[in-house]
């Protein structure tokens, strides 16, 4: 396998690579067909996406040993096009993090390929890392709930595309926030992302929230240029670290030179309340999704002693990590009677207003742009000092499009440490964001 | 809003999580900090605003009433050790 | 709520709908009874699986709500009801909370209307087997065949005031379900929870769970009323143990169970348009009440008879055919009374028996034409319930045709009188009963084919 390691090219096998970077939870090969549009491609799959017969744990000890009896629809689709699956990439437990540091009990944190002292970003950290390192034709299927595709893409210096909610089937995705989760491609080029998206997108009757809309020919949007396109630069997103802002503005200038019309726009509601609304909804949903993990039908189990409440509490407390427990507690609280109106229901209503805020802008602009993250990949030791709330606040630039279910793509800019340039489109406008991303 | 230890213990009970005293103390602090920020969404005017269940417009998703092949007993029970005579074994119900 | 009666009962009935597949997956609802042989990742709650709503279940649920006179909600919204129990595949049940499918309905039982608060849809949990009885087992065995079955929950207002009424309510509800053909009493399950309180104990409410079938309802509630009179009553949930014939405390209900409802984000809001409802209405059988009133109007039968016949679809069908061939009065007598008598005796329902319509009608015609006596006809009907046969042929083969030929009958009577000297003497000396002896002789001779009244007249004439 061809690896780019510390800016030098090596031939190395995956096991050796993984020993250094922890980007895979499982290294295992699977191929079902020889011929197809992805013949010759390797695909790694984020651990929370089911591959039949391959251990899929969403990075959690509570699902150790779970080997799904079915492929996720997205996985079946890429296998049908002749690719080879090479393994499951590491992640924050159940997607609970922006740095891939909240790995489950017994799992290892993936390390940033550009600088091992730094984090990969999360929660699709393993995917971000693997894509940066593996030079051979390789794309990773990542997953995003609040920014988990584009954040590691930004920190690792690769391309990450998160499609419209419902564009890619969620069947076979281990749920975090059912109304927020999306599967999307992560790759070294915009072209590869477009290619894989075309294959995994489409209506799936097994997923009730799947969009029944025709799939565009995304590759036809490459090399179209940006002349005449109206781009909205979200002014609230400029409140970021200097090095990020500098790179971001350089890219803006370059797009202007290529003929794009750039104007400043504002998303006041989204930036003031987006994080709170996102977390309340995501945690309310996930605290119910995680209830099924109780040691009975799959995953970690104990001897069935004691009453059922004692048994469930034992299995869950032993196998959930600290962040998972915290999020379950917050989510349970947000939907308890007495608090439900003020948190869960209120957040869902404010979400409607946030979506409306974006939709209004898209009446006048083709795409919106922001930096992907407010900083470059931080050092692991610095992240350890953050409180949970400070962790959550890092998602300030990505929760908006995720809450609104809008397609968005992060493209790497910057020479030194990677910076992400985020392009956001209206629902089902993956083509347009690919078009702009290709010019970055 | 002020979270108290009693409420934290109750939430843990509802969520079937067994927390040590230290864990309860830490979680109480963390949750308090987070919820203080979360509660600011109360300021937003939402009169006559409907909840968003999903962020995109989705129509009726209905399935025809036609039986499809299901898992074999072996497959259904393949993911656990706690089983007996083709049943799943669970902790007692009372 | 202000109560006045001695006993106050409200019911929550869970009815399994007679669809081919489960509520949110395509596993068959009927078939193998081997444990865990009709499951899939969805009804096993396997990570990554997603629910998809069964169209037919929705149709059936709307039919039920309509026939209970409910207002139908324009939007169908499912919620996750979270609680932990070994029989829940996901430790939440997909149910309806905020806005149920139907509200503000009613159902009639003899003499009064019972309010239906709501009708809503939800999925069934799995089945638990307690290897050594519920109280003693250290573990449970779980069978997910039932997990995900489509249920309709019907909740009444606390309008019932006796266990007998509760049983009547269940019976009538089952009748409606059969009528609509959305419930199969042989294969589908019906379970009830009852909330019961008595005046003596200040209407402190106890919930009784786990009552299966309407026969158990009266037993369970009668027991509970007696128990409440004897013991202290607290707000709690108790389980009915049918074998032991007692209720057992399950959990104290100082506070409501914390269900932490959220709207299920894996399902979309289903729009129920007026067109959809109209289409279902057209497809529905004429509702029992309308049919009954039509019977009264067209056939001038008694209202009470009409309502009983109309309640059961098969019975109503039979009646409508019969009334074309024989007078309404006869049809009522035999469809409502005689047929039901024989069915009840055999503890069977009309659907189970598969009565041959043609032969039954023929029998009625013969009765009408007085070609067979009522006694003989009753016996023939009893046989017809068990197996179909050619009624005319049977009558001829067994010489059961009513002897209405007076000469023939007179001959037999004369003979009988000759053989009964003593009886004749007794009768002549004033013992009316002695006549019966002679009548008995005649009946034996004619194998019951003669009409007793006619025989008596002839004998009296001769004597």
Note the helical H segments in C369-447.
Answer: 374-386, 391-397, 406-418, 421-428, 434-446
Distances (CA, A) of A72 to A119, A183, A253, A295, C208: 28, 10, 41, 23, 43
| CA A160/CA A391 separation, integer angstroms | 21
pLDDT attached to residue C254? 52
Q: How far apart are CA C78 and CA C264, in angstroms?
A: 6
CA dihedral A17, A21, A23, A27 (to 10 degrees): 30
- Taking an 8 Å cut-off on Cβ atoms, the answer to whether C47 and A170 are in contact is no
- Among A333, A336, A347, A355, the residue to mutate for chain B (most B Cβ within 10 A): A333
C-alpha dihedral, A243 to A244 to A250 to A254, nearest 10°: 160
Q: What's the CA gap between A158 and A155, in Å, rounded?
A: 8
How far away is chain A from the Cα of B65, in angstroms, using its nearest Cα? 14
A-chain residues within 8 Å CB-CB of C91?
Answer: 291-292, 294, 312
**CATH number of the domain that residue A175 is part of:** 3.90.1300.10
pLDDT at C97: 93
Strand pairing report for A230-234 and A261-265: parallel
Chain A (293-352) residues lying within 8 Å, Cβ to Cβ, of chain B: 294-299, 301, 303-314, 316-317, 320, 325-326, 328-330, 332-334, 336, 342-343, 345-352
Q: How far apart are CA C142 and CA C130, in angstroms?
A: 9
Looking at the partner chain, which of A58, A171, A336 has a beta carbon nearest the beta carbon of C258?
A336
Report domain extents, chain C. Answer: 7-278, 286-397, 406-462
Closest in B17, B41, B42 to A317, CB measured: B17
A 309-338: CB under 8 A from C: 309, 312, 332, 335-337
Nearest-angstrom CA–CA distance, A166 and A202: 9
Cβ-based neighbour number of residue A211 at 10 Å: 26
All residues of chain A having their beta carbon less than 8 Å from the beta carbon of residue B35 are 330, 333
Q: Measured between CA atoms, how close is C52 to chain A, in angstroms?
A: 6
Closest CA–CA distance from residue A5 to any residue of chain C (Å): 34
Minimum-distance CB partner of B61 among C21, C53, C144: C53
- Answer yes or no: is the ipTM higher than 0.90: yes
CA distance A35 to C62: 49
CA dist A174 and A48 (Å) reads: 5
CA distance A50 to A70: 7
Instruction: Work out how many domains chain A is built from and give that number.
Output: 1
Helix axis angle, C357-368 to C313-325, nearest 10° = 40
**pLDDT digit of tens for each residue in chain A (440 aa)?**
888 876 678 788 899 999 999 999 999 999 999 999 999 999 999 999 999 999 999 999 999 999 999 999 999 999 999 999 999 999 999 999 999 999 999 999 999 999 999 999 999 999 999 999 998 899 999 999 999 999 999 999 999 999 999 999 999 999 999 999 999 999 999 999 999 999 999 999 999 999 999 999 999 999 999 999 999 999 999 999 999 999 999 999 999 999 999 999 999 999 999 999 999 999 999 999 999 999 999 999 998 888 899 999 999 999 999 999 999 999 999 999 999 999 999 999 999 999 999 999 999 999 999 999 999 999 999 999 999 999 999 999 999 999 999 999 999 998 889 999 999 999 999 999 999 999 99
- From chain B, pick out residues whose CB is under 8 angstroms from the CB of C135: 94
Q: Enumerate the residues of chain B whose CB falls inside 8 A of the CB of residue A210.
A: 61
Task: Label the pairing between strands C112-123 and C102-109.
Answer: antiparallel
Q: Minimal Cα distance from B10: which residue of C? A: C258
- A260 vs A256, A265, A436, CA distance in Å? 5, 15, 9
In degrees, to the nearest 5, what angle opens at C-alpha C457 toward C-alphas C452 and C459? Answer: 95
Alpha helices in C68-213 (DSSP H): 163-180
Q: Round to the nearest angstrom and report the end-to-end CA distance of chain C.
A: 74
Distance from the Cα of C138 to chain A's closest Cα (Å) equals 7
Alpha helices of C233-312 — where are they, by DSSP H? 274-283, 288-299, 303-311
E strand map for C124-245: 127-129, 139-143, 150-156, 190-198, 206-212, 236-241
Domain C406-462 bears CATH identifier 3.40.50.1220:
no
C41 in contact with chain A, both atoms CB, cutoff 8 A:
yes
For chain B, which residues lie within 8 Å of any Cβ of chain C, measuring from their own Cβ?
14, 16, 51, 53-54, 58-68, 70-73, 76-77, 79, 84-94
pTM of the model: 0.86
Q: What are phi and psi of C304, to 5 degrees?
A: -60, -45
How far off is chain B from A131, nearest CA to CA, in Å? 29
Report chain C residues whose CB lies below 8 A from the CB of A287.
Answer: 260
List strand residue ranges (DSSP E) for A282-336, in order.
Answer: none
CB contact under 8 A, A328 and B71: no
The answer to whether residue A148 is catalytic is: yes
Q: Which segments of chain C have a pLDDT < 70? A: 1, 133-135, 251-256, 403-406
Tokens 């940033």 locate to A112
CB-CB contact of A354 with A270 (8 Å) = yes
- Residues spanned by the domain of A71: 1-440
Phi and psi dihedrals of C19, rounded to 5?
-90, 165
Cα–Cα distance for residue pair C273/C455, rounded to 1 Å? 68
Residue-wise pLDDT for C355-412, tens only, equals 888 889 999 998 888 888 888 888 889 888 888 889 888 888 887 777 666 677 778 8
Query: Would you call B82 and A304 a contact, using CB atoms and an 8 Å cutoff?
Result: yes
């Amino acid at each position: 396998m061809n690896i780019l390691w510390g800016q030098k090219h090596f031939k190395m096998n995956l096991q050796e690579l993984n020993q250094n970077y922890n980007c895979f939870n499982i290294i295992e090969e699977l191929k079902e067909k020889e011929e197809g549009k992805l013949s010759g491609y390797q695909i790694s799959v984020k651990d929370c996406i089911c591959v039949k017969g391959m251990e899929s744990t969403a990075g959690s000890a509570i699902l150790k040993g779970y080997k799904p009896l079915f492929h996720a629809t997205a996985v079946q689709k890429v296998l049908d096009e002749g690719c080879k699956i090479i393994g499951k990439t590491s992640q924050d437990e159940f997607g609970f993090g922006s740095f891939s540091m909240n790995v489950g009990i017994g799992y290892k944190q993936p390390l940033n390929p550009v600088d091992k002292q730094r984090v990969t970003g999360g929660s699709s950290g393993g995917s971000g890392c693997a894509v940066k390192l593996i030079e051979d034709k390789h794309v990773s299927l990542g997953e995003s709930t609040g920014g988990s595709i584009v954040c590691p893409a930004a920190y690792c210096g690769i391309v990450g595309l998160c499609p419209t909610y419902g564009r890619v089937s969620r069947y076979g995705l281990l749920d975090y926030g059912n109304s927020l989760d999306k599967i999307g491609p992560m790759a070294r080029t915009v072209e590869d992302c477009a290619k894989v998206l075309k294959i995994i997108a489409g209506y799936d009757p097994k997923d009730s929230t799947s969009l029944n809309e025709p799939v565009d020919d995304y590759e036809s949007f490459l090399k179209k240029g940006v002349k005449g396109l109206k781009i909205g630069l979200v002014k609230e997103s400029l409140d970021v670290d200097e090095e990020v802002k500098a790179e971001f503005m350089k890219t803006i200038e370059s797009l202007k030179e290529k003929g794009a019309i750039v104007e400043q726009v504002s998303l006041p509601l989204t930036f003031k309340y987006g994080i709170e609304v996102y977390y309340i909804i995501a945690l309310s949903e996930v605290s119910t999704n995680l209830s099924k993990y109780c040691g009975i039908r799959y995953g970690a189990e104990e001897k069935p002693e004691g009453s059922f409440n004692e048994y469930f509490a034992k299995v869950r407390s032993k196998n959930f990590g600290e962040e998972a427990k915290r999020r379950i507690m917050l989510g349970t609280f947000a939907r308890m009677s007495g608090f439900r109106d003020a948190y869960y229901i209120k957040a869902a209503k404010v979400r409607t207003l946030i979506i409306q805020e974006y939709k209004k802008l898209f009446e006048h602009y083709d795409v919106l742009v922001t930096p992907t993250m407010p900083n470059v990949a931080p050092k692991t030791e610095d992240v350890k000092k953050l409180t949970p709330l400070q962790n959550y606040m890092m998602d300030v630039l990505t929760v908006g499009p995720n809450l609104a279910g809008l397609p968005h793509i992060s493209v790497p800019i910057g020479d030194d440490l990677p910076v992400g340039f985020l392009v956001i489109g209206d629902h089902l406008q993956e083509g347009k964001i690919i078009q702009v991303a290709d010019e970055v | 809003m002020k979270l108290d230890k009693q409420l934290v213990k109750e939430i843990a009970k509802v969520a079937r999580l067994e927390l040590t005293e230290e864990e309860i103390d830490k979680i109480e602090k963390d949750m308090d900090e987070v919820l203080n920020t979360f509660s600011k969404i109360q300021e937003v005017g939402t009169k006559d605003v409907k909840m968003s269940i999903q962020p995109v417009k989705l129509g009726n998703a209905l399935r025809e009433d036609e039986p499809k092949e299901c898992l074999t007993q072996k497959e259904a029970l393949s993911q656990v050790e706690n089983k007996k005579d083709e049943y799943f074994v669970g902790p007692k119900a009372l | 709520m202000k109560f006045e009666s001695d006993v106050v009962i409200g019911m929550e009935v869970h009815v399994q709908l007679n669809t081919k597949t489960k509520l949110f997956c395509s596993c068959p609802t009927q078939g193998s009874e081997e444990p865990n042989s009709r499951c899939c990742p969805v009804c096993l709650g396997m990570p990554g699986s997603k629910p998809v709503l069964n169209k037919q279940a929705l149709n059936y649920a709307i039919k039920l709500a309509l026939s209970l006179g409910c207002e139908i909600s324009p939007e169908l919204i499912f919620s996750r009801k979270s609680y932990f129990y070994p029989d829940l595949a996901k430790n939440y049940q997909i149910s309806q909370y905020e806005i149920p499918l139907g509200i503000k309905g009613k159902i009639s039982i003899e003499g009064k209307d019972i309010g239906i608060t709501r009708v809503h849809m939800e999925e069934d949990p799995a089945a638990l087997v307690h290897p050594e009885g519920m109280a003693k087992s250290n573990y449970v065995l779980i069978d997910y065949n039932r997990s995900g079955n489509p249920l309709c929950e019907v909740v009444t207002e606390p309008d019932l005031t006796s266990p007998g009424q509760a049983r009547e309510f269940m019976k009538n509800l089952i009748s409606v379900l059969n009528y609509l053909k959305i419930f199969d009493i042989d294969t589908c399950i019906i379970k009830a929870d009852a909330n019961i309180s008595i005046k003596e104990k200040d209407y402190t409410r106890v919930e009784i769970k786990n009552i299966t079938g309407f026969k158990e309802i009266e037993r369970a509630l009668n027991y509970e009323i007696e128990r409440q009179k004897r013991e202290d009553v607290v707000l709690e949930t108790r389980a009915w143990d049918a074998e032991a014939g007692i209720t057992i405390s399950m959990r104290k209900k100082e506070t409501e169970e914390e269900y932490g409802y959220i709207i299920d984000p894996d399902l979309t809001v289903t729009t129920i348009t007026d067109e959809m409802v109209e289409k279902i209405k057209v497809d529905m059988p004429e509702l029992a009440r309308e049919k009954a009133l039509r019977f009264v109007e067209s056939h001038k039968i008694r209202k009470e008879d009409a309502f009983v016949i109309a309640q059961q679809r098969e019975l109503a069908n039979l009646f409508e055919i019969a009334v074309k061939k024989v007078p309404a009065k006869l049809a009522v007598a035999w469809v409502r009374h005689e047929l039901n008598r024989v069915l009840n005796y055999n503890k069977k329902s009309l659907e189970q028996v598969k009565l041959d319509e043609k032969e039954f009608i023929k029998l009625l015609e013969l009765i009408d034409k007085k070609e067979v006596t009522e006694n003989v006809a009753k016996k023939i009907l009893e046989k017809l319930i068990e197996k179909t046969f050619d009624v005319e042929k049977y009558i001829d083969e067994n010489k059961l045709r009513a002897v209405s030929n007076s000469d023939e009958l007179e001959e037999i009577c004369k003979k009988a009188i000759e053989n009964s000297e003593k009886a004749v003497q007794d009768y002549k000396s004033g013992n009316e009963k002695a006549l019966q002896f002679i009548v008995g002789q005649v009946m034996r001779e004619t194998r019951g084919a003669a009409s007793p009244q006619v025989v008596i007249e002839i004998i009296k004439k001769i004597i």
